[in-house]
Structure formats: C-alpha cells, structure tokens
Amino acid sequence: MNLSSAIFTRFDPYSGQLDGASYTERRLSQLRGAFADEAAYDAALAQDDPVIYTVATLEPAQGEGQLNYALGMLNPGRIGTEYYLTKGHYHAWRPAAECYLGLSGQGVMLLEDENSRESKLLPLLPNSIVYVPGYTAHRTINTGDTPLIYWGIYPSAAGHDYGAIAQRNFHKVVVAVDETPTLLDRLEFLNALHQAETQ
C-alpha cells in the first residue's frame, strides 16, 4: 500500500481549513449556468466576483478500497432568490457513493437519481450525515447566513462528472420564498420569473 503522509490530519470545522490539502476555489464567474435566474447572475457578476465556495481535498491513497475526502466551505448568499450552491456533479464512476457530514452552518443537499430523475432534499446540518447513493447527482446549498462547512468522503476512484449537469441542470431549484428555503421545479420557477418580467 502506498500511503502519502496524510494518515493523520487536522481541520477547522468553522473555516474549512484542512492541513496539507489542495484547495479549489469557485468564484461566481465560474458558475455560469448553475443558477436559474440568468439576469440576476449577470447583475451580480457586474458588481463583484466573490468566492462562492472552496474545496480542500486530501487524497491519502489511490486504488481499490481507498478513500479520499474533501472539506467544503460554501459561503452564504443568493443570486436573485436562489441560495449559493455548488456546481453539482455525478461521480464519473457512477456506482460510487459518498458520505456528507455537516460541521457548521445550515444547508441542504439536493440529490437527483440519474435514472428515475427523482429528487430528494435533505438537511445538511452539524451532527448529521447525508448518504449519497451511487448514480445520484448531488449539489450542496447554503440556506443559512454563515459559511456552511461539511465533509465529503468518497471512494478514491469516484471522480467528478460535471458535464452531465452543465448540459442538463438539476430539475429542482432551492429558492427563498417568504424567507423560507423552498424546493420548486426549475421550469415552473423560470416561467414565474418570465411572467413577472413581462407584467
């Protein structure tokens, strides 16, 4: 077995810092197409290009039976009424499942089964675990007003398939309706937006 030095690691459950990790930063400009309201996206981007989330990844080992893990930090905020979110993906190796553990902040996970297209919305909170089965698109959403910090632990062979989501976004959106996180059909939400624009 070829283990790197990452057999013991420290992390900060409030900032998303993970010793020895490699960091990926996703700014608003890298999330074109992820948010439903394109006009709100363009308006927000014209003002600023904030960091929406970071992912600190550790890959202690690769190969059959090995696990990798990542500490996510998703900032609070909205584009229009839609909460800040991650791009979302399937695993390139479709059978790969993943465990998400909430550490701090308040959020939800949107899951979508690739075959049935059935959606599930689950809370991602401190002291809770969301099990993401294989063949399931998953997206993290911050519905609170502090950073959402969470673990994702997955088979080292899982990989990320972003292309499928870029082509066909999740069927559902999570938006603030009367300040309450609400799950709506993307199409219905877009139709309501366009109707409001033309009135």
Closer to ligand PAN by Cβ: residue 85 or 184: 85
Work out the number of other CB atoms within 10 angstroms of the CB of residue 112.
22
* Strands 107-113 vs 119-124: parallel, antiparallel or unpaired: antiparallel
- Judged by CB under 6 A, does residue 154 bind ligand PAN? yes
Longest distance between any two alpha carbons in the chain, whole Å? 65
Distance CA 120, CA 198 (A): 32
- Judged by CB under 5 A, does residue 112 bind Zn ion? no
- Judged by CB under 6 A, does residue 18 bind ligand PAN? no
Question: Phi and psi of 41, rounded to 5°?
Answer: -60, -50
Answer for which of 80, 82, 83, 89 binds ligand PAN (CB under 6 A) is 89
Window of 2-10, 38-46, 80-88, 111-119 that interacts with ligand PAN by CB under 6 A = 80-88
Window of 59-67, 76-84, 152-160, 188-196 that interacts with ligand PAN by CB under 6 A = 152-160
- Judged by CB under 6 A, does residue 55 bind ligand PAN? yes
Q: What is the DSSP letter of 84?
A: P
Sheet with 172-177, strands from edge to edge, namely: 78-79, 82-83, 172-177, 180-185
Answer for which of 70, 101, 174, 193 binds ligand PAN (CB under 6 A) is 70
Q: How far is the CB of 50 from ligand PAN (least distance, A)?
A: 16
Please report which helix (H) or strand (E) contains residue 114, including its range: none
Closer to ligand PAN by Cβ: residue 98 or 112: 98
Tell me how many residues contact ligand PAN (CB under 6 A): 14
Answer for which of 80, 98, 173, 189 binds Zn ion (CB under 5 A) is 98
CA dihedral of residues 105, 123, 11, 9 (deg, nearest 10): 180
Closest CA to 50 of 8, 7, 79, 93: 79
Residues binding ligand PAN (CB under 6 A): 55, 70, 72, 86-89, 98, 138, 140, 152, 154, 158, 160
Residues binding Zn ion (CB under 5 A): 98
